[in-house]
Amino acid sequence: MNAAVDNPQLQNLYRELILDHATKPRNFGRLAAATHNAEGINPLCGDRLSLYLCIDAGSRIDSISFEGSGCAISLASASLLTETVKQLCVADAQACFTAFTQRLTQGTNPEALPAAVGFDKLHALDGVREHPSRIKCATLAWHALHAALHQQPLTTTE
Amino acid sequence: MNAAVDNPQLQNLYRELILDHATKPRNFGRLAAATHNAEGINPLCGDRLSLYLCIDAGSRIDSISFEGSGCAISLASASLLTETVKQLCVADAQACFTAFTQRLTQGTNPEALPAAVGFDKLHALDGVREHPSRIKCATLAWHALHAALHQQPLTTTE
Amino acid sequence: MNLPQSQPIRDFSDYRSDFPGLHQTVNGQPLVYLDSAASAQQPTPVIEAVARYQREDHANVHRGVHTLSHRATELYEGARDKLCEFINANSRAEIILTSGTTESINLVAQSYCRGMLKPGDQVLITSLEHHSNIVPWQLVCEQTGAELIVAPINDRGEVELDELYELMTGRVRLLGIGHVSNALGSINPLHDIIRRAKQAGITVLVDGAQGVPHMPVDVQALGCDFYAFSGHKMFGPTGTGVLWGRESVLESMPPYQGGGDMILEVSFDKTVFNDLPYKFEAGTPNISGVVGLGAAVDYLSAIGMEAISHHETSLHDYMVQQLSTIEGMRLVGTARQQASVQSFMLNEIHPHDLGTILDHQGIAIRTGHHCAMPVMQRLGLPGTARASLGLYNNHDDIDRLIAGLEKARQVFA
Amino acid sequence: MNLPQSQPIRDFSDYRSDFPGLHQTVNGQPLVYLDSAASAQQPTPVIEAVARYQREDHANVHRGVHTLSHRATELYEGARDKLCEFINANSRAEIILTSGTTESINLVAQSYCRGMLKPGDQVLITSLEHHSNIVPWQLVCEQTGAELIVAPINDRGEVELDELYELMTGRVRLLGIGHVSNALGSINPLHDIIRRAKQAGITVLVDGAQGVPHMPVDVQALGCDFYAFSGHKMFGPTGTGVLWGRESVLESMPPYQGGGDMILEVSFDKTVFNDLPYKFEAGTPNISGVVGLGAAVDYLSAIGMEAISHHETSLHDYMVQQLSTIEGMRLVGTARQQASVQSFMLNEIHPHDLGTILDHQGIAIRTGHHCAMPVMQRLGLPGTARASLGLYNNHDDIDRLIAGLEKARQVFA
Ligand SMILES: Cc1ncc(COP(=O)(O)O)c(C=O)c1O
Ligand SMILES: Cc1ncc(COP(=O)(O)O)c(C=O)c1O
């Protein structure tokens, strides 16, 4: 972000990492071999993301991708999500969902997460907490993850 | 009216003549041989009056009656109406309708009415002008007259 | 329970000063407002909440990313949360914000019943109902070929329970019943009635327009499926109301009106409706009104509905006792359980004339059929005079009413 | 017409002080409100009219004999008279008071269309419409088996008139068309469109939600059959709106909702509906809201809709000119006739992010699909950023917007 942006709250929202993931999302595209998928819609802004997962016989998320359009916050969050839960078992991914959404909506710190989980990067989204109208953007992909894990093909953040 | 009633506006509304006609309405009942009739409903209070007329070949109101239930103002007005238009020709009765409703709603004095018309008694209802919510009571029977003369069987004051 | 006249209900005298509408003269006399069943006066906190919202917080809700829109949304949705707690709904998804009881009932008639009723089916109501709990069912019965059937009332103005229960056959698909009669004040024994209806597999809508302002309401304890009420009768703004519905029932219903906010996605091929409660809230809602309604809930909750019910019951007892002392008085509606409303006739004086004579003395009552013509037909009356109470009324109001009626007797002596 | 930046529109600067909502800071900056198309701020006379009504005049309308009820009725019906004059309706019977544009359109879809549409019939709309002028027709078409057909728009955001006229065959029973697009600001050439529709025997409903606040409207001159609009977009309270309908058409329609006030007489055998406009106004109306709407009409009339239209047109021209100076700016919606609204995209920045960055600078715009998803689909956009004007906006607001957008460019540089 250009240093000329003087507003600290704004800087806190659009951190380097967020802008980086938003403009160069990781794991972007469609997984042809997906075993699970879900679509998330944020009616607030009309954003929609599709999440694709390959879950192997051992209940591990073997691969994951997303596609769709959205604001910087929802794209960055989706991109970070894919990095975070890839290679996790379903239960750990579910724990991530709970930890992340609680952190954003209630400000609580995640309870002891399994060692396998690399949660720290997600703290880049902490600035969203000060922007209540954007929390749904940050949680959209996560709700889609939750829906996919529970085999519900469509979810919304309303 | 009991002289103990000290309120002049109230005295002006419930004059002796009004109370007399309300408690002993003239020409009350149904005219079996009616050639014209109409029913008036005042949705404000649920009052309903039926007006019956015998109009002869010469377009004169040979006989007239009314029945129904209503407040003192609407009963007295209906009773006075029957006395006023009985024996008038249809055109004069229509002129009475116009004169009376205009007097109540706009406060205008009747334009020169035909000599045959005894309009003066109706001035007993002048007090109604100060009670806008009661004007519809006083005009109910008159609207029924208008409807009967125009062969419309149902009218309302809404 | 008859309170002696000398025992003022102290706690409530304070609340009276919160209602600016009460502190005026009408026809030269201090106003006595005994028409709360038609619409209640509003306390300053409600009036101020609306004005403050309009001055400081207004923007459209739900779809805005800017600060004002967010603030408006928080206030609007915050009111929904308050209402949810106030009637002990299971979830905020069950609180559908409408323009009033009438719209709430029409919503159920059209969205729940219209697609479901078939010729031969029946909708059951009682003779006590307000037109708003009659005409929507007449319309949908006419549209579907179903039949509207009506349980009778007795001379006291109570629903004849035996006959009501007899009518609850397998053909009945919905029972629409009032909580409290606005014409006669009768409180229906809802717990028993709803239990019997549910045993017979009947969906129950309660018209709570006259219930919510006067007593604690717990929709889960009642066990009904729908409960409808209006903001303006519970000291909130006009143009607001609630349809509470059981979530599973609401889920099964198609939307009522189409428009903004009730959709997730619109294309010309397919439209995906939004989740509850938004599925039933099309278009820009009455935001300022709902904010005021939230303030009304706060106001009532702070006093406590139990206390309000107790206060009004005492006052109603006193009113009945005092009215009975007047020569030529006929009380209309003498149900064993009554709330906040008393209808009556005085000698042969038409109610409309009574209303005018009382108005001249600054006393506001309602006269006529009270939108309950079938009640009047059943009792053989063209209408009644009706005095109805709110939490702000007191013994003095009743005494003024009694004196005013004495004067009316003289006018027609 | 491009005004040089140095020429302030003097007359209008005074009105700004009438709107308390504009005089606050948001995120530490003086508020710039550019979201009037979603909902307008209210001037003090409107806010005061509502509060005064609630403090001094409130009671239920129409059926009361006492003074307050009479006063409330006069105020409520007085507002109807003002609205009648404001849009030059032929008679007050044609002014149906609703909760907003959305309800107005649903009323027509259900009451006018539902009983009349048959399989094979068509309802015609355009791709420019707001969801409130789409979904009600989808619902009624699904209910009746009729077909919803859609006239396309071009890249500028104008309805393709040739194709619209070609679709006006004998099968079309109703045309629903917006006056001004809330998403793109396009003004439809209503006079020509309505003339062609009437020649083809088609009933025309105009969605005037974005017309009435910004220009003179004369429903008789337009020649349509229905005209729908909302109070909250014309500086009045939420929860209010109007359906204007041609009297003969309204007469022919069955009631929409059932309840109090819309009936003359209710019995279980037969119910007689009330005359216009009451036939379509069931239940206690939004009295305080309508009183406020009457005050809004007075306010607008005092300024003059011609003057407002002129002011906003100048300002819109200035906004377009200034926006065009920004690097990476893409104007969305460039119809030759445009009013009060401008949508745009800046570089690859998602509108939602733009909205947040502007909000941080105290600038309120709307972002997203603006309840017009088909427009977005047609233009291949997920949504837009939209700045919209009201009579109170000025050059400074535009300058602040431009500066704010420059900052957004830097954030995403
Ligand atoms: C063009 C248009 N039509 C209809 C509507 C719906 O109006 P309301 O939400 O007030 O019912 C709007 C406003 O959102 C609009 O801009
Ligand atoms: C028992 C009852 N039901 C329904 C209604 C209708 O309420 P509203 O007019 O607020 O829609 C009323 C009020 O008039 C009522 O008293």
For residue A157, what pLDDT is reported?
65
Percent of chain C predicted with pLDDT > 90? 91
For residue B158, what pLDDT is reported?
55
The pTM of this model reads 0.94
Complex ipTM over 0.85: yes
Task: Answer whether residue D394 shows pLDDT above 90.
Answer: yes
Question: Which residues in B lie closer than 8 A to residue C383 (C-beta atoms)?
Answer: 45-46
Alpha helices in C145-286 (DSSP H): 161-167, 190-199, 219-222, 247-252
Atom of ligand 1 nearest to the CA of D231: 10
Domains of chain C: 13-38+304-412 (3.90.1150.10), 48-302 (3.40.640.10)
Q: Do the Cβ atoms of D350 and A71 come within 8 Å? A: yes
Burial of D243 (0-12, 13-18, 19+ CB in 10 A): buried
Q: Do the Cβ atoms of C367 and B69 come within 8 Å? A: no
Looking at the complex, does the CB of residue C351 fall below 8 Å from at least one CB of chain B? Answer: yes
**Tokens standing for D199?**
């020649």
Backbone phi, then psi, for A147, in 5-degree steps? Answer: -65, -40
Residue C147 β-bridge partners: C122
Task: Name the nearest CA neighbour of C236 among C23, C16, C48, C107.
Answer: C48
> For residue range D205-223, what is the model confidence (pLDDT) as tens digits?
999 999 999 999 999 999 9
**Could you tell me which residue, B109 or C25, shows the higher pLDDT?**
C25
Backbone phi, then psi, for B16, in 5-degree steps? Answer: -50, -45
Give the up-direction half-sphere exposure of residue C129: CA atoms within 13 A in the CB hemisphere: 32
For residue A25, what pLDDT is reported?
96
Give the up-direction half-sphere exposure of residue A157: CA atoms within 13 A in the CB hemisphere: 28
**Could you tell me which residue, B55 or B153, shows the higher pLDDT?**
B55
Q: What integer is the mean pLDDT of D234-242?
A: 98
Q: Do the Cβ atoms of B158 and D275 come within 8 Å? A: yes
Q: Burial letters for C240-279: b for 16+ Cβ neighbours within 10 Å, e otherwise?
A: bbbbbbbeeebeebebbbbbbbbbbbbeeeebebbebbbb
Give the mean pLDDT per block of 10 residues along chain A (158 residues).
Answer: 66 92 96 93 81 94 94 96 95 94 86 80 92 90 94 70
Contact assessment for residue B5 and residue C407, using Cβ atoms and an 8 Å cutoff: yes
Look at ligand 2, atom 14, and give the residue with the nearest C-alpha.
C38
Look at ligand 2, atom 7, and give the residue with the nearest C-alpha.
C101
Task: Answer whether residue C51 shows pLDDT above 80.
Answer: yes
Q: What integer is the mean pLDDT of D175-199?
A: 98
Rounded CA-CA distance C277/C300 in Å is 24
Contact assessment for residue C344 and residue C331, using Cβ atoms and an 8 Å cutoff: yes
Residues 6+ apart with CB under 8 A from D365: C66, D34, D35, D354, D355, D358, D385, D386, D387, D388, D401
Task: Name the nearest CA neighbour of D213 among D360, D393, D57.
Answer: D393
**Tokens standing for A56?**
């192997």
Comparing CB atoms, the residue among D66, D70, D264 nearest residue B156 is D264
Question: Which residues in C lie closer than 8 A to residue A45 (C-beta atoms)?
Answer: 63, 65
Q: Do the Cβ atoms of D65 and B133 come within 8 Å? A: yes
> For residue range C92-143, what is the model confidence (pLDDT) as tens digits?
999 999 999 999 999 999 999 999 999 999 999 999 999 999 999 999 999 9
Contact assessment for residue B70 and residue C350, using Cβ atoms and an 8 Å cutoff: yes
Comparing CB atoms, the residue among D59, D232, D263 nearest residue C284 is D232
The full set of domain ranges for chain B reads 3-156
Q: Do the Cβ atoms of D69 and C35 come within 8 Å? A: yes
> For residue range B95-119, what is the model confidence (pLDDT) as tens digits?
999 999 999 988 887 677 877 788 8
Element containing residue C15 per DSSP (H, E): helix C10-16
Look at ligand 2, atom 15, and give the residue with the nearest C-alpha.
C209
CATH class of B3-156: alpha beta
Percent of chain D predicted with pLDDT > 70? 98
Alpha helices in D87-170 (DSSP H): 101-107, 135-144, 161-167
User: Candidates C284, C286, C287, C288: which one to mutate for ligand 1, based on the most atoms within 8 Å of Cβ?
Assistant: C284
**Tokens standing for D411?**
């954030």
Strands C263-266 and C241-245: unpaired
Alpha helices in C39-144 (DSSP H): 44-52, 67-86, 101-107, 135-144
Task: Answer whether residue C154 shows pLDDT above 90.
Answer: yes
**Tokens standing for D128?**
């420019």
Burial of D166 (0-12, 13-18, 19+ CB in 10 A): exposed
For residue C14, what pLDDT is reported?
85
Strands D122-126 and D147-151: parallel
Contact assessment for residue D119 and residue D145, using Cβ atoms and an 8 Å cutoff: yes
Looking at the complex, does the CB of residue A24 fall below 8 Å from at least one CB of chain D? Answer: no
> For residue range A51-96, what is the model confidence (pLDDT) as tens digits?
999 999 999 999 999 999 899 999 999 999 999 999 999 999 999 9
For residue A5, what pLDDT is reported?
62
First to last CA, chain D: 33
D292 Cα distance to chain centroid: 17
Question: Which residues in C lie closer than 8 A to residue B71 (C-beta atoms)?
Answer: 350-353
Chain D: residue whose CA lies nearest to C57: D21
Q: What integer is the mean pLDDT of D70-91?
A: 97
Atom of ligand 2 nearest to the CA of C241: 10
> For residue range D40-67, what is the model confidence (pLDDT) as tens digits?
999 999 999 999 999 999 999 987 889 9
> For residue range C355-386, what is the model confidence (pLDDT) as tens digits?
999 999 999 999 999 999 999 999 999 899 99
Q: Do the Cβ atoms of A158 and C278 come within 8 Å? A: yes
Task: Answer whether residue D314 shows pLDDT above 80.
Answer: yes
Q: Which residue out of D60, D61, D65, D74 would a mutagenesis test of the B interface target, given it has the greatest number of B Cβ atoms within 10 Å?
A: D65
**Tokens standing for D26?**
């948001």
> For residue range D337-378, what is the model confidence (pLDDT) as tens digits?
999 999 999 999 999 999 999 999 999 999 999 999 999 999
Cis peptide, bond prior to residue D277, ω within 30 of zero: yes
**Confidence class for position B157, pLDDT limits 50, 70, 90:** low
Give the residue numbers of D marked as catalytic: 371
How much is the mean pLDDT over chain C? 95
Ligand closest to Cα of D232 equals 1
> For residue range C300-354, what is the model confidence (pLDDT) as tens digits?
999 999 999 999 999 999 999 999 999 999 999 999 999 999 999 999 999 999 9
Percent of chain D predicted with pLDDT > 90? 91
Instruction: List, as one string, the DSSP characters of C289-302.
Output: HHHHHHHHHHHHHH
